Structure 1
C-alpha cells in the first residue's frame, strides 16, 4: 500500500515551463531615489526579467555548511522532503522546518529551494541574487490563515480533516527573520525582497516573512520538537488497519482512545505521532498534545 507520504517532491514541476504572460508588471514602481538602490529593467521588451535556478538533484540549491561559518549551522532530516538533509544556518530556520514537517497541511518541504536572479540596472551589470529560506507546498487553507494574520507556528498545528488533490496545493515561500536583523535598515536589501515578492506572486507563489516573536510561538514549537523524535517510527500495514478499524466510519476520535487501540504506552504514542506525520491522521494540536485532543482521519478530497 503506497501512502501519501511516500510521494517524493519534484521541485522542477513547481513552476513548469510556461512564460509569464502578464506584461503589465512594471518593476520600476519599486524605484527609489537613493542612487545606491539598483533600478529595475523596464519590461518594454521581451527581455528576461528574472531567472530561477534549481539544483539538478532536486534538493537544496546550496548546502550552506562549508566549514567557514562562525554561526550555528546544521541539517534537518525532513520526512516531507523525501528524508533529505535540509541545511539551516539559523536555529529559527530549523524550528520553522520542524513545524512544517509536523503540519498535516504541509505536503512538501524544501530548504534553500532555488536561486532567483533579478535583472536590474545600475548594479555593474550584475543581477540581484536571492535565496529563499524555505519552499512549502501546502493546503490552500494554510496560506489563507497566514494572510488573515495567524502565526506560522499556530497554522502548522491546525488539523486537516480533508485532503486536496495535488493541483490544488499552493506554493509557499518563506523568509525567516530574527527580531533583530541588521538588514532591516538596509534599503537595497528591502528593495530586493520587494522585487522577489512581486515576481513570486506573479507566478502564483505566496511569500511571507516569518518573524520570530510573531510567528514562532514556544507553545507550538515545543510540541513539534518533541513529536520530531517519533516521526521515523516504523509503521506496517497492520498499524494502518488498526487505525482505520478504530475510527469505524467516524471522522473524529479522542487521542486517548487511539492510543488505547494501539495498546497504550510509549510505543502506541510513537505510532500515533508517526501516522500524523504521514498525513494518514491529523491531530488537532491548538490546545496542545492532550489526551482529549480530537484526531481526524484525513479524507481524500475531490478534484
Structure 2
C-alpha cells in the first residue's frame, strides 16, 4: 500500500473490550487496504476529584504507564495472529487518551475505541473519552460494541435525517459499505406525534402523502451516492417511529450503525444529539459517529 495511506487508529487500555476493538479495527483496516495504528495513552483526568478519587486515578495511571508496552504487544500479537500480512504500528504516549486520539484523527481513516457503553450522566456531568473523541475528531469514530471481531456479510445501517449532516453521514456509510462489500440500509424516521402544545387535526392530514414525501427525499439523496458507488446494494427504509427505535430495530441484523454528529460544542450530549447518544448507549453492534460534511 502507498506510504501515505491513512491508517485505521485504535485506542487500547489493556481491557478485553479494547483488545476486541483492536481485532475489529484490524479487520476494517484490511478491508480498506489501510495500515493499523495501535495507540496506548494515559487515562483522562477528571475535574474536581476528591482526594481519594485522585489517589485512585493516580494509581490507575501508574499501572497504565508501567503496562503500556505489555498491552501494545498483546494487541499486536492478537491482530497479527488474525491478519499476519497487515501492516501494524504502535505508539505509547503520556498524552491523555482523548487528546492523543483526537490528534491522531487528523491523519487517520478511522478511529476506533473499545470500552463500556456511554451513559447520559457521563455525557452531561462527567464526559467520556468516547464522547470527547467522537465530537472533536476530524475523521469518523467507532465505539466498539458487541463481541464480533471479524467482518461479516451483514449490512451497514445508517440513519439519515433532513439536517445538513445527512449527506456527510450517508457519504461515510457508502464509503465503508463499498470497502466492506456489504449491503447498506438507509433509515429515515418520522412520527405522527406533534410537539406538546401544537394543535393538530389528524383527520385533515394526508399521512400517506407525508410518508411518500419522506420516502422521496430519502431515495433522492441515496440515489446520488448510488451513482458514485454503483457496487453498493443500497436499500431505503422509512419508519414511523423515533429515530433511535428505528435504528435499533435494524441494528439487530447489522454489523455496524452509522450516525451523525453536529460538530464541536461544550455540551457533548447535546452536540451528538439524542439519537447518536441513544445508539452509543444501547446499540448491540459497533457505532460509527461521523461529523457533518460541512465541517
The two structures have a TM-score, normalised by structure 1, of 0.26
Higher helix content, 1 or 2: 2
Task: Calculate the TM-score normalised by the size of structure 2.
Answer: 0.26
Larger Rg belongs to? 1
Higher relative contact order (CA 8 A, sep 6+): 2
